[in-house]
Structure 1
């Protein structure tokens, strides 16, 4: 098993745990994040999942911003073992940020990230994961247009992965 496959397996286990025990899952992911000395793919992925386990939108935003910053330097060499190109991270990362900003009533920032998510969505496959992200894009876009700040289940990392 490669390092990437091992990381993804650990993350899948912790994400499953997070559905029933958010605090323990958050602590485990924070430990993974502090130990992540590999290339930027590990911190990006861990921060992406950590965002979903936060109790406040402000904390979720902080972790989503960390994930995006790390994603900017992730290479295809790092993601090939996970079965996708590095650019495929961007639609999900940007739509999560759009949703964070929407819930904080920062609609200009939300629109900016929604636009970035839409512009990068062309890299998504014609599969269940691609459909999921496109659906989230639609729902977040509708909520932004309605100036709705309520929490809704939009985050792909808390749902079934394709």
Structure 2
């Protein structure tokens, strides 16, 4: 959803449409739509578009190695993103608030791949950035997921989390 005062952004609208498609239970058309947008945006395109698209595309991959590739791309784009650019989409966005989720997702994929030491480094980073999260449902969700992933790392458990994005999808 965009800020009504923000400049219309057809790319963000297309990303949003693809995300909704994926949440309807059939990830393949959503993946195809996002990959087509990725080709349009390009690896050096608008960091806000790249970050958003890669973040959502990672959630559409059940394979942790594929998801990790997109999560790393989202993190890379966030590193090139400014608050000013993010606020063109929504006045309340701060890039610092993106990092807990980005680090969490990388940690979770590394954990699922059995790379527990690397996963622990990224979950540490996620924990260090949770103060940038809002005190709302989103912030609570990310903080809870950070706790769940920390516990799974400590337990050396590579199983997918039931609460992970896309976990409700069927694997058929």
- The TM-score, its normalising length taken from structure 2, stands at 0.84
User: Is 1:52 the counterpart of 2:56 in the alignment?
Assistant: no
Going by fraction, where is helix more abundant, 1 or 2?
A: 1
Unaligned runs of 5+ in 1: none
Of 159, 162, 166, which residue of structure 2 is paired with 1:150?
A: 159
Q: Is the 8 A contact 1:133 1:156 kept in 2?
A: no
Q: 1:39 touches 1:78 (CA, 8 Å); kept in 2?
A: no
CA pair 136-55 structure 1, distance change in 2 beyond 3 A: closer
The DSSP-based 3-state class of the residue aligned with 1:150 is coil
1:149 counterpart SS class: coil
Cα deviation code 1:103-143 (max 9, x no counterpart) = 00100110010001011111001111100100100111111
3-state SS of 1:2 partner: coil
Alignment equivalent of 1:68, drawn from 75, 99, 121: 75
| Range with bigger deviation, 76-85 or 97-106 | 76-85
Q: How does 1:1-162 map to 2 (within 5 A)?
A: 2-4=7-9, 6-19=10-23, 20-36=25-41, 38-80=45-87, 81-82=89-90, 83-155=92-164
SS at match of 1:77: helix
Q: Tell me, in whole angstroms, the C-alpha distance in 2 between the residues paired with 1:156 and 1:52.
A: 6
For these two proteins, the number of residue pairs brought into alignment is: 158
Any conservation in 2 of the 1:132–1:156 contact (CA below 8 Å)? no
Counterpart secondary structure, 1:68: helix
- TM-score, L = length of structure 1: 0.89
What is the aligned-residue RMSD (CA, Å)?
Answer: 2.0
Hey, what does 2:3 align to over in structure 1?
none
Structure 2: runs of 5+ lacking an equivalent: 1-5
